[in-house]
Amino acid sequence: MHRVFVSLLFILLFSKVFSQEISLSAGPLWGLPVYYQPDALGDTKGSMKTGFNLDMSVVFSPEKKTSHGMILGYRSNAFKEDVSMIGSQSGKYYRTIKMNLYYVGYKLNIRTSSDSYLTLSPLFAFKSKKIFYAEEQTGLGLSFSYAHKIKLTDRTFLKFEPALSILGIIPFVDADFPSAKLTSFGLNVGWGYIFNKHDLE
């Protein structure tokens, strides 16, 4: 998995023939596993803790009304789960669960103004070696975000991007019953660089 991640990163960094805008983003992340199915044999119990997201994206022809790109990233979610015990040590306890995932996805950007755009991103998430949670959050998910850019120079900009994501909508792992979907809200801050067309010739 790590080789795939590094290979995709290499491709994105050196595909200047096609890319026109590259940005790096990072920010806090808050999320919980949520059971969306009404007949699910489970319930969402717990409280969110602060995690983080780190990603790199490449956008092709960002000046157009609709543009496309790729995103590659790493995220670490954490939440405090309520655990009920029975027997001689009955009572309610808490444990912190962390989920570390790599992801790669496609970006569809729709400009709403010269400096802002909406983004829809189907994401494929892959677990890292250090992950612990009953329902795997790997598989196909979706991310929705709204980004605003602040121009620094003719080539560089800052980007502020609140985002909502749902992972494991179509999981890699088969299950006999509906599983919780990791649903997160994040606020990313990024720095980007713009390549003009003549730079790529």
DSSP string for 54-77: EEEEEEESTTSSEEEEEEEEEEEE
Closest by Cα among 1, 17, 11 to 71: 11
For the CA atoms of the chain, what is the radius of gyration?
Answer: 19
Spans in the chain with pLDDT lower than 70? 1-19, 37-46, 82-95, 129-136, 175-178, 196-201
pLDDT tens digits, 65-110: 999 899 999 998 878 776 555 555 555 666 677 788 889 999 999 9
pTM of the entire structure?
A: 0.78
Structural domains of the chain, ranges and CATH numbers in brackets? 2-83+90-200 (2.40.160.20)
